[in-house]
């Protein structure tokens, strides 16, 4: 058996074991002593181990049966984690329903087809432009408050859409809120939970997110359908003239209520006790610091692999949403409402893959899922052969399952390395910056193909080949890194200092 790397024994595992009669897990959740920040707790636990070291027999038994990273029960999560899941669910539910409503609004305005993928670009542009600032903003106050403020910004975007502002502009405002929301949403996990629970936490968060995607696209499709839209438009408030007189407008009004529900949950997200003081508020300083953090994560041997992987995944996933809509219309004769249901089927597959990954893939084995990403591109290519609904549903689930199983461990690894290197909020901001550049580029290329009149089958072939080739290149890079020196021992080592 290979010896455990220095630092990992103390930093990664003491929370789940009892050594020398010291029951750390019984002191507080995750072994944290009451009233202590995480780094003070690490020092206290280290002192306990030094003064009460394990016997040779206890140490041998521990190494033979280490605590399973992927077998920590969901019930062991802090109660605040459930509140985060609920807030994320309703906010994501609204985001996905709003996209379908915005597409329907563009169709009513008789805008060209290429504007539909451009909606996604207008949404994510804020993730790229504001990336140097939103990480510091997320780290400047309790993240529950950040999520509350940014949900309010999303409501403003919905109001603008109702008041006849062009959907591309209004959806950009919603994207502005989402850009500031995301670092808080994911960053709070690294503040609330220890490293060995990140894969499980990400599995549940991604599972919840995917459930909201499934229900969101279904809800969006239902809200813009003629029957439901007629019922909604027939509903009037006494005395007040809402000005809502179109099916997309009625859908958007309902979606605003979902953001309000998410905001209510945001109010109950606990403060993790992390220091939220910002060292410097100067934008130029923040820009330089962001550039440093971005370079730091790309130079890290594990960070670059996980960041390249998730960047490709989110770019591909955003593009696939629009490919599925166009493919369903051509291959199956579906309208927007029906095609949105197929997007939900893909999300079902993602949920299945995410749950399986959370159950069976530990943080230390995250890089083992890289071949699944390459396989996903090959599965996508088979879309051009499908003409029947049952086969289409099976294929969409298979594509989604590959994606879910693949992205959850990679996302957890990226969050962990980012948290170790620079802090939660800054790490997620860097992640969002790169991933949304991927979305801008890939969705932009697809929009150009649509504008140029390239057929959907050709677009699918180019898309599938790109995904597979990109993942093979990432795998080659990882093997090259490992040939130079083993970097996997860094997984599970926590930060040496306090949170930002």
- At residue 35, does pLDDT exceed 50? no
Burial group, residue 245, by CB count within 10 angstroms (0-12, 13-18, 19+): exposed
| Cα 354–Cα 357–Cα 362 angle in degrees, nearest 5 | 140
Residue located via tokens 């890194």: 481
- The mean per-residue pLDDT over the stretch 253-274 comes to 85
121-137 pLDDT, tens digit per residue, is: 888 888 888 877 776 77
Residue located via tokens 């991604």: 206
195-208 pLDDT, tens digit per residue, is: 777 767 776 776 68
148-188 pLDDT, tens digit per residue, is: 898 899 999 999 998 888 999 999 999 888 888 877 777 77
Residue 281 pLDDT: 67
Contact 310, 414 (CB under 8 A): yes
Residue 240 pLDDT: 62
Model pTM score: 0.66
Residue 238 pLDDT: 61
Residue-averaged pLDDT of the chain = 76
- At residue 36, does pLDDT exceed 60? no
Phi, psi of 22 (to 5 degrees): -95, 110
442-461 pLDDT, tens digit per residue, is: 999 999 998 888 889 999 99
Closest residue by Cα to residue 234 from 219, 221, 244, 224 = 244
CA distances 5 to 12, 22, 417, 487, 491, Å, are: 11, 23, 17, 11, 10
72-99 pLDDT, tens digit per residue, is: 344 456 667 888 888 889 998 999 899 9
Q: Which fold has domain 74-490?
A: Growth Hormone; Chain: A; (1.20.1250)
Spatial neighbors of 211 by CB under 8 A, at least 6 apart, are: 89, 347, 351
Phi, psi of 272 (to 5 degrees): -80, -5
Angle, helix 456-484 to helix 424-451, in steps of 10 degrees: 150
Beta bridge partners of 19: 22
CA distances 481 to 165, 302, 489, Å, are: 50, 9, 13
Domain boundaries, the chain: 8-62, 74-490
User: d(Cα 287, Cα 340) in Å, to the nearest integer?
Assistant: 39
38-48 pLDDT, tens digit per residue, is: 323 333 333 34
Residue ranges of alpha helices (H) inside 225-367 are 226-233, 247-266, 283-299, 301-331, 336-360
- Furthest CA-CA distance within the chain: 79
Spatial neighbors of 35 by CB under 8 A, at least 6 apart, are: none
């Amino acid at each position: 058996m290979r010896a455990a790397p220095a630092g990992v024994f103390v930093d990664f595992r003491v929370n789940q074991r009892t050594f020398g009669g010291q029951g750390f897990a019984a002191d507080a959740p995750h072994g944290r002593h009451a009233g202590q920040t995480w780094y003070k707790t690490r020092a206290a636990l280290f002192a306990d181990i030094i003064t009460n070291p394990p016997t040779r027999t206890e140490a041998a038994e521990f190494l033979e049966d280490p605590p399973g990273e992927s077998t920590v029960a969901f019930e062991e999560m802090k109660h605040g984690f459930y509140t985060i899941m609920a807030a994320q669910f309703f906010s994501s539910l609204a985001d996905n329903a709003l996209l379908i409503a915005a597409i329907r609004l563009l169709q009513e305005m008789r805008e060209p087809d290429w504007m539909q993928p451009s909606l996604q670009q207008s949404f994510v542009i804020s993730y790229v432009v504001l990336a140097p600032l939103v990480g510091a903003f997320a780290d400047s106050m309790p993240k529950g408050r950040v999520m509350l403020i940014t949900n309010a910004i999303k409501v403003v975007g919905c109001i603008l859409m109702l008041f006849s502002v062009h959907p591309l502009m209004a959806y950009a405002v919603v994207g502005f809120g989402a850009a500031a929301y995301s670092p808080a949403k994911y960053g709070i996990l690294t503040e609330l939970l220890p490293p060995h629970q990140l894969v499980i936490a990400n599995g549940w968060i991604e599972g919840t997110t995917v459930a909201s995607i499934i229900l969101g696209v279904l809800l969006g499709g239902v809200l813009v359908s003629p029957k439901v839209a007629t019922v909604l438009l027939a509903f009037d408030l006494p005395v007040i003239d809402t000005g809502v007189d179109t099916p997309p407008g009625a859908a958007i009004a309902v979606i605003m209520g979902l953001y309000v529900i998410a905001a209510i949950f945001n109010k109950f997200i606990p403060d993790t006790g992390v220091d939220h003081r910002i060292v410097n508020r100067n934008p130029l300083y923040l820009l330089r610091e962001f550039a440093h953090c971005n370079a730091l994560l790309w130079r890290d041997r594990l960070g670059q692999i996980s960041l390249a992987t998730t960047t490709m995944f989110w770019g591909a996933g955003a593009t696939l949403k629009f490919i599925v809509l166009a493919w369903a219309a051509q291959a199956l004769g579906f309208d927007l409402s029906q095609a949105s249901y197929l997007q939900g089927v893909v999300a079902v597959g993602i949920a299945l893959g995410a749950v399986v990954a959370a159950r069976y893939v530990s943080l230390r084995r995250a890089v083992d899922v890289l071949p699944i990403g390459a396989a996903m591109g090959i599965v996508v290519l088979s879309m051009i052969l499908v003409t029947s609904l049952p086969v289409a549903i099976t294929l969409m689930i298979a594509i989604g399952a590959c994606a879910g199983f693949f992205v959850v461990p990679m996302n957890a690894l990226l969050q962990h390395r980012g948290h170790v290197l620079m802090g939660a909020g800054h790490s997620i901001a860097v992640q969002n910056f790169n991933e949304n550049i991927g979305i801008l580029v890939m969705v932009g290329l697809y929009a150009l193909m649509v504008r140029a009149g390239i057929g959907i089958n050709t677009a699918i072939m180019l898309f599938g080949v790109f995904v597979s080739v990109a993942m093979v290149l990432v795998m080659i890079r990882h093997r090259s890194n490992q040939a130079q020196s083993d970097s996997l021992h860094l997984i599970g080592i926590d930060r040496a200092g306090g949170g930002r």
